[in-house]
Chain A
Amino acid sequence: MSRYFTDEHEWIDVEGNTATVGITDYAQSQLGDIVFAEVPAVGATLSKGGDAAVVESVKAASDVYAPVSGMVSEGNDALAEDPALVNTDPEGAGWFFKIELDDLSELDGLMDAAAYKAFVDSL
C-alpha cells in the first residue's frame, strides 16, 4: 500500500485499484474543531480536482477535492455521528471516502510523505 498527498492537503492510500481519501493532519489543524463532514454517496462518479466532500468547522467551510477520478465505493458514515474523528485521527479513522480508480496514472503527479512534509514546511 502506498500513501500519496495533494497540495490541497488530502491524503490518499492506494491498494490495488481502491483508494482511501481523507484530509491531512495539517489540514485539520488549520480548520480547527470539525463540526460537520459530508461524504459523497456510494456510486457517485468523481473527477480529479472536482468537489468530492465538504468539511466544516464553526467558522469555516471547505471543499474536499477528489485527488483522482473514479467511482465512490464507500463513504465513512462514522463522520456523520462523530465529525471530531477528523481532528483526533485525521489520517486513520477520520477518512472520508473510498474510490475505485479509473486511471492509476493520475497518481503520478501526487506527492509522497517526504515531499508533502517539505511542502507544508514551506507554507
Chain B
Amino acid sequence: MRYLPLTPSDRQAMLATVGANTVDDLFIDVPEEARLSGPIAGLPMHASEMAVERHFASMASKNMAAGDHPFFLGAGAYKHHVPASVDHLIQRGEFLTAYTPYQPEIAQGTLQMLFEFQTQVARLLGCDVANASMYDGSTACWEAIGMAGRITKRKKAVLSSGLHPHYVNVAKTMAHFTGDTLETALPMLDADVGFATLADSIDAETSCVVVQYPDILGRIGDMTALAERCHAAGALLIAVVTEPVALGAIKSPGEMGADIVVGEGQSIGVGLQFGGPYVGLFACKEKFVRQMPGRLCGETVDAEGKRGFVLTLSTREQHIRREKATSNICTNSGLCALAFSVHMSLLGERGLRDLAALNHAKAVQAAERLTQIPGVSLINNSFFNEFTLKLPSNARDAVHRLAEKKVLGGVSLGRLYPGISALENGLLVAVTEVVTDEDIETFAALLQEVL
C-alpha cells in the first residue's frame, strides 16, 4: 500500500516496544462483538494509482465541462478565467498541507496571506473589517442574520425577494430551529428591485433587512435610502454579493451604508467545482467586530519587535466560548481564500476594473442579441454580467433542449423556484469574459430554434 510506510518488521518491533502480541491487542477496548475480523465484506480491495485514475477519467467524461461548450450559467456561481499561477501557488505544499495557523511562529505564510485577504475583502465590499472566510455565501448570509440578531437583540429578519433562493432556504432551515422570524417573498418578473417595499416592512421588531446586489435576477439597486430607513428603525442592513467581480464596476454596498456585507468569493480564483468548495466573504463595520463569526487574523510584533500576524479575538470562537460562541464554525475555506487573494493580487484594481468592464460589455451585447429573438424580452433595466430573459415558453425545457445541442444556456427560474408558474418562463443568463462572440451567436441561434 503506497501510502503506508511501516514495514512488517517495523510493526513487529513496535509491537514489542508497546508490549502487545498483535495489533488487535490494541483494540481490546472495542467490544468483541463489534470488532470486525477482516476487511468489510463486499467492498473492493486496494487499487493502483493507474486504476483509480482510469475510473475517475471515465466518470469525468460523463460530464459536460463548462469550458468545452458555449456556457451561460450563473445564479451564484460564475465561470471566470483563472490565471495559471493561481492553481500553481495554492498547490505549494506549505499552503496546501498546513493546518489552521495555531502556531503562529511557523504559520506566518498563511497568516500574512489571511491579513492581506481580509484587507482585500474589506476594501472590495466597502467595509472596515473582514474575517478570514466562511464556508460559502449562503452560510455567511445566515451567520450575518444571526449576528444582526445578537447586535439588535431582535429576532425578525426581512429578506428581499431578490435574494438567491438557496440562501433564503438556508436561512429558513436555520430560523425554523432557532426560533427567528423571517419575512420572505418570491421575486416578480419586473425591473424593480423592490427596495421601497422592503423599507416599508421594517418595524420595531426588525433586526435586519437582507438584500442581494446585484440580485438573483441580475438587477442592481441603490440601497442608500434603504440603509437610512434601516438605521432609523434600529435595524441593520445586510448586503449579499454573489458575484464580487461586479464590484469592479459598481459601488460597494458599504459605500451605500450596508452594515454587514457578505458574499460568495468563488468567482475570483476558485472555479466552478460543481458547487464547492467555495469561499464565504464576511465584512462589517468595525464597531461590530466582536460579534463577528469565524477566524480573524491580526497584526502584532514578535519578541524581537518584528511585524508578524496571529489569529486574534479568539474568545468569540467555539474552542474557547463553547456554547456561548458567536458561531460553531471551525474549519473555514482557507485554501479558497488563498486562491481568491492570489487572483485578486494578480488583477489589482486596474485588472479588476478592466475585467468588470469586459464582463459588462459582453453581457450588454448578449442581451441585445438575445432580445432580437421573437418573443424573448429582457426583464432588467440594470444589470452587470447577468440578466433575466422572459421566454415565450417554459425555460427549463429550453435549457434541456439546448443541452442536447451542447449549449449550456443559463439557469431556468423553474430550477430555482420549482412550481411557481409566474416564473417558469424566466431564464437567467450570465455572460463573462470567457464567452466569445461566436458563443453568443450559437446560443442565440439555438435558443430561437428550441423555443
Give chain A residues whose Cβ lies under 8 Å from the Cβ of B91: none
Nearest CB in chain A: distance from B304 CB, A: 19
Within 8 A of B (CB), among A59-81: 59-61
Give chain A residues whose Cβ lies under 8 Å from the Cβ of B315: 36, 56-61
Bin chain B's interface residue count. under 10
Nearest CB in chain B: distance from A39 CB, A: 14
Task: Select A59's contact among B290, B320, B324, beta carbons within 8 Å.
Answer: B320
Nearest CB in chain A: distance from B301 CB, A: 15
Q: Counting CB contacts under 8 A, is B321 at the interface?
A: yes
Within 8 A of A (CB), among B322-339: 324
Give chain B residues whose Cβ lies under 8 Å from the Cβ of A58: 314-315
Within 8 A of A (CB), among B35-64: none
Provide the bound-state CA to CA distance between A56 and B320, in Å. Answer: 11
Chain A contributes a number of interface residues (CB within 8 A of B) equal to 7
Give chain B residues whose Cβ lies under 8 Å from the Cβ of A57: 315
Within 8 A of A (CB), among B310-324: 314-315, 320-321, 324
Listed residue (B314, B315, B324) with the most chain A CB atoms within 10 angstroms of its CB: B315
Provide the bound-state CA to CA distance between A33 and B290, in Å. Answer: 18
Nearest CB in chain B: distance from A107 CB, A: 29
Give chain B residues whose Cβ lies under 8 Å from the Cβ of A56: 315
Q: Which residue of A lies closest to B312 (CB)?
A: A58
Nearest CB in chain B: distance from A35 CB, A: 8
Q: Which residue of B lies closest to A51 (CB)?
A: B324
Provide the bound-state CA to CA distance between A61 and B326, in Å. Answer: 13
Q: Which residue of B lies closest to A61 (CB)?
A: B315
Provide the bound-state CA to CA distance between A60 and B315, in Å. Answer: 6
Nearest CB in chain B: distance from A32 CB, A: 12
Which 8 residue pairs are nearest across A and B when measured between Cβ atoms? A61-B315, A56-B315, A61-B321, A61-B320, A59-B320, A60-B320, A59-B314, A60-B315
Show the binding face of B for A, using Cβ within 8 Å.
290, 314-315, 320-321, 324
Show the binding face of A for B, using Cβ within 8 Å.
36, 56-61
Some 13 contacts from A to B, beta carbons below 8 A apart, are: A36-B290, A36-B315, A56-B315, A57-B315, A58-B314, A58-B315, A59-B314, A59-B315, A59-B320, A60-B315, A61-B320, A61-B321, A61-B324
